[in-house]
Structure formats: structure tokens, C-alpha cells
Amino acid sequence: MGIQTLEQFISKQQSKFPTAKGEFTHLLQAISLAAKMVNREVNKAGLADILGKQGKQNVQGEEQQKLDVFADQHFMDALEKVGDCCYLASEEHEEGIDLTHQTFYPVGKYMVYFDPLDGSSNIDANVSIGTIFSIFKRVSPEGPLTMADFEQTGRQQVAAGYIIYGSSTMLVYTTGKGVNGFTLDPSIGEFCLSHPNLLIPSTGRTYSVNESNYNQFSTAIKQYLQYCKDMDKETQRPYTSRYIGSLVADFHRNMIQGGIYLYPDTMAYPNGKLRLMYECNPLAFIAEQAGGRASTGLMPILDIMPEELHQRVPLIIGSDKMVKMVEWFIHEYSTAEPTFA
């Protein structure tokens, strides 16, 4: 069949819908362009003055890296200029940007939430990092945005994806009809289809969790982690512990090989630590479209009604059978006293 670029792929998909006007195609092209620019800087970070801390904190109280700021600026700029967005929200900003009031560029119907550089604390160590994005369509027909536009669960996403900057750079996305992965070919500067119809294995032998938080975990999570370490030939346990510390990198490995990622609630973060709108929702959408599962342990991530932009939730995501097992442990120990022990 030969090489199929991302642009060719999305144009082909658009041709299946005669009423499509191309706005969504332009939006994905803008994300692809910004990703290439960030990839360029990531690849030469050791040679340019772009490593290290910015000297400021973001809205989360986290130390901003120089590449954080660079990535945020380029994604914001590309998405604003494309003219197909009405709202942009990033991890790096306290409030989202309502584009319905601006007059510099056309205003579209898409609302984009993104984490411009996930895992940025690993930048100086040359560990894989990534970008995560989530796309909704406004509910109100035109004019100022309304509460209905923001009160959409993850199931109403029209697309979601991530870019991983690693040994190769990949863009993985879904529009609700399966998941496809594209690898950046540096010789032609294009993302090319490399992983069509990605599916997460129904189970795996890898678990990813920050075990330094063990003493803050609930009884249910502690019991599940012990289950992972117990010897059982039938279920091929013990499992292997693999925790990179970059959500995109851990999730991508489990997408390919099977496995589970856990960032449950803790005593320090009783509502969870990861952000619903631009981390959990998009990855949950991808996971479900690839045959996996994403949960808080008590309910599907995609069923959560957002209450605020930077809302935090617990995240248990990956192979379907493995996530269901964690949910079973949480159900079994839900009456255990104390919850945190």
C-alpha cells in the first residue's frame, strides 16, 4: 500500500462524510504541526538553552520547565491561528481562553484541552515525555459559550490523542472509531501510519504505580499490589513493576504490550492527583476505543461530569481484565476500616 501520511489518512476519513467541511482536519493538522515543532526542540534540548527550570510555578503549584513553556506557547499559537476553536485550556494556565471574544482569527466550534508536556520533570534526564489532547464540540450553536458547553462528560469527546517524544516520535489518536498510531519520519517531516487499529491486549504482566506512595494507599490498593507480587503460574504472576514517571510513556507501553497504570487516591490527594480534562479523559477515550478500560476504581472515567477545569481524579487504566481486577479489590475492601491504613 505504501506510506500513508497523517494528512492523507485524515483527508481519506473526511471523504467518507459528504457534509464535512474540513474544520476537524485543519485542527488535527495544527496539532501535528505544533508537535513537530516541540519534537524539534526536544531533540536538540541538550544543545540549546532550553533545558532546566523556568523559575516559575504553574497553576498546579508545579515547577515549570523551559520546555513546558515552549510547548504551551506553540500549541496555543497553532490552535488559535487555525480558526476552528472557540475555547482552549492548558495545564499551564489557571483559566481557559475563550476565543469567542477575539477578532484576530475566525472562531470555530471546537474546545481543546491539553497538557502540552506531560512528564516534564523527566526532561533533564532524557526520559520519554509527551503531549495529551482532548477535543470537544461546543453544544451551544453560536455566540458566547454557555455552561452546557463545559458540562460534557468524556464520552462526548469528538477526538483525543497523545504525542510521545521518545526513541521515535508517535502521534496516537481516536475519533471514536478505533485508534491509529503515526510515527514521525524525520527524513520527510511527516507523521506516517505505523500502527493501524491499535488494540490493548486484554491482560498483561506489567503494573505501573509510584510505590513510594504505598503508605498513603487504601487497603484495597495495597492488597492489589500484593496480588501483583504473589506467585501464581495460572495468571503468570508475579507481574513486573515498570514505572517511568511520564504518564504518556507508561500508558503507551501498556497500549502496545498490555498492562495497567494506577494513580489512585492517597492521603495527600484524596480526590486523586491527575487532571480529568486534559490527562484522564483523553487517555480513557483512547483506552476504551482500543479495547481497554479506564476507571476511578468506582466508576468509568468517561462518565464523570466535570466540575472545574483543573479537577483531579484517581486513574486506573490499561488492559481490561487488569483494571476490572482492581475494581474488584476496591469493591471487596470498600468497607474495610480504616480506608487508609
Residues at the annotated binding site for Mg(2+)?
A: 91, 115, 117-118, 279
Q: List strands edge to edge, sheet with 260-263.
A: 240-241, 206-208, 260-263, 315-318, 293-295
Query: Considering only CA atoms, which of 192, 172, 158, 179 is closest in space to residue 31?
Result: 172
Measured CA angle at 134 (ends 128, 136), to 5 deg: 175
* C-alpha span between 261 and 247 (Å, rounded): 8
Give the containing element (helix H, strand E) for 262: strand 260-263
Cell numbers 502496545 correspond to 256
217 contacts: CB under 8 Å, gap ≥ 6: 225, 264, 266, 340
> In the 8-state DSSP scheme, what is residue 100?
G
118 touches 278 (CB < 8 A): no
305 touches 276 (CB < 8 A): no
14 contacts: CB under 8 Å, gap ≥ 6: 20, 22, 24, 25
Binding-site residues for substrate sit at 118-121, 210, 243, 261-263, 273
* C-alpha span between 296 and 276 (Å, rounded): 11
82 touches 30 (CB < 8 A): yes
C-alpha cell at 281: 479523559
* C-alpha span between 171 and 163 (Å, rounded): 4
Binding-site residues sit at 91, 115, 117-121, 210, 243, 261-263, 273, 279
